[in-house]
Copies of this chain bind each other. A is one copy, B any other.
Amino acid sequence: MLDTLQANLLSPIPLAFTLGVLTRLMKSEFTLPPDLYATLSIYLLLALGLKGGAELAHATFASIAKPAAVTLLLGCLTPLIAFGILRWLGHFSSADSAGIAAHYGSVSAVTFIAAQQFVQRVGAPMEGFMPTLLTLLESPGIHIALAIGAVQRTRAMRAAGVTTGGSIGKVLHEVLTGRTMVLLVGGLIVGYLMGESGWKAVSPFFDSGFKGALMLFLLEMGIVAGSRLGDLKKVGPFLLAFGILVPLLHGALGVALGQWAGLSVGGCTVLGTMAASASYIAAPPAVRLTLPEANPTFSLTAALAITFPFNILAGIPIYYRFAQALA
């Protein structure tokens, strides 16, 4: 276990992330230009989609059906678990609980990619259809958590005689047509249609550069996470523990369900990581628009400054070990 952890810490992704955090701790004003950050995420998501699409050609419907089903199940269970823990153990307001649950019920694509790189490096590559599963897990958790929050909000609003502005329908449309979905789903379809020959033509761009671009992206993620470390004291010890223990819980659930659905050790590790990860791209604006009284400091700090680093630095190797143990 320890040497898996250590080997992980000395690999490019965690090192770049740590450099970013340190940069912030040294109070450097360095940061990637905003367009570069956007560019890298577009590149990574589209590359993931295209490659996943090209590999989808080799998959049979039978082999995907069960993994897809458990992924959707995870998409329903994890926001409920997170909401319950926050509301009844943590005594958070219902808006805050729903807001945070929306983040933990969805998924972080970069954490997914880090897991993919990890299992590749340790020689247990994941199934080629995993990016497809990623697209399934992005939105259900957000929808479910926001629905819970909206019901409570409407009740409170009606009591107070106020009418609200942000329509849920519009927000869900925004999640479904946001950057992640367009690039991942679009990439999968394009990758599938253009097939091996098409992928070969563009892979010098989308494949060879992938690891390096990822490193640059993780540097910025470190800077972003580092700049939130100061908020750790604002969120309190409960959320701190939540940010580590709930990923472990969701991760274990993901690995176990993946195992049941017949995934390889690599596939189980990645599914566990997906379940354990918290969204910080799609969820925040959706929550902000529909549940404005939820404090964004809570959800963003938990997702970005606790759970993301935990997964990158320690979570992924743990889910991997667990997957090995179950296999």
A residues with a Cβ closer than 8 A to B are: 10-12, 15-16, 19, 22-23, 26-30, 32-36, 38-39, 42-43, 46, 173-174, 177-179, 182-183, 186, 189-190, 193-195, 198, 201-206, 208-213, 215-216, 219
In the bound complex, do residue B209 and residue A12 qualify as a contact, i.e. CB atoms below 8 Å apart?
Answer: no
The oligomer's copy count stands at: 3
Bound-state CA distance A189–B20 (Å) is: 12
B201 and A205 form a contact (CB under 8 A): no
The answer to whether B26 and A177 touch across the interface, beta carbons within 8 angstroms, is yes
* Whole-angstrom CA separation of A33 from B42 in the bound complex: 10
Nearest residue (CB) in B for A180 is B30
Known pairs A22-B186, A194-B10; A178 contacts B28 (CB<8 A):
yes
A190 to B16, CA, bound (A): 7
Do A15 and B179 form a contact, CB below 8 Å, given A36-B35, A36-B38, A211-B202? no
Are A198 and B39 in contact, CB atoms less than 8 angstroms apart? no
Give the distance in Å from the alpha carbon of A205 to the alpha carbon of B203 in the complex.
13
Q: How far is the CB of A206 from chain B (nearest CB, A)?
A: 5
Q: List the B side residues contacting A174 at CB < 8 Å.
A: 29
